[in-house]
Amino acid sequence: MRDVLAVLAGGLVGTGLRLGLDSVLPHEGFAVSTLVANTVGALALGMLVARLWDRVPSWLRAGLGAGLLGSFTTFSALAVALVSLGAAGDWMPALAYLVATMALGLGAAWLGLRIGRPRATAPLDLVDE
């Protein structure tokens, strides 16, 4: 029950942050606010996973991950942005938006893991050499 309440509380905060971002960065044509939210969310989750995940209780992981960042970043908003961009029949802007979202999201997650890792430990190996 504690996990559920943490997700609800985190979701309330994340949704409020997303609404604020959407009001500052409007959705005309290219959905900049969705791109920013998903990139920032990937960075934040990477930092949290690297720094806290193994040291905090499950309810806090649920509240921060699924609740706060899950409601701040949204796949459904990405899907709507892609369909809206391609609605005119030219899918190249939608493809560019998808590539930008994936590249920025993966890059931000990688950077978050690098920034968030404790300094006293060995470097984080993301690729087997």
pLDDT along the chain (129 residues), means of 10: 96 96 84 93 95 91 95 90 86 93 96 86 47
Provide the 10 A C-beta neighbour count for residue 3: 16
Structure tokens at 73: 């970043």
Annotated binding site for Na(+): which residue ranges? 70, 73
Q: Does residue 122 fall inside a structural domain?
A: no
Q: Is 68 inside any structural domain?
A: yes
CA distance 70 to 63: 9
Please check whether residue 127 lies inside any domain of the structure.
no
Q: Residue 10 domain-assigned?
A: yes
Examine residue 11 and state whether it is found in any structural domain, yes or no.
yes
Q: Would you state the pLDDT for residue 123?
A: 52
In one-letter notation, the amino acid at residue 126 is L
pLDDT of 59 reads 95
Residue ranges for the known binding site are 70, 73
What pLDDT does 128 receive? Answer: 44
Query: How many whole angstroms separate alpha carbon 47 and alpha carbon 49?
Result: 6
Q: Which domain holds residue 29?
A: 2-116
- Structural domains of the chain, count: 1
Question: Does 9 reside within a domain?
Answer: yes
- The model's pTM is 0.82
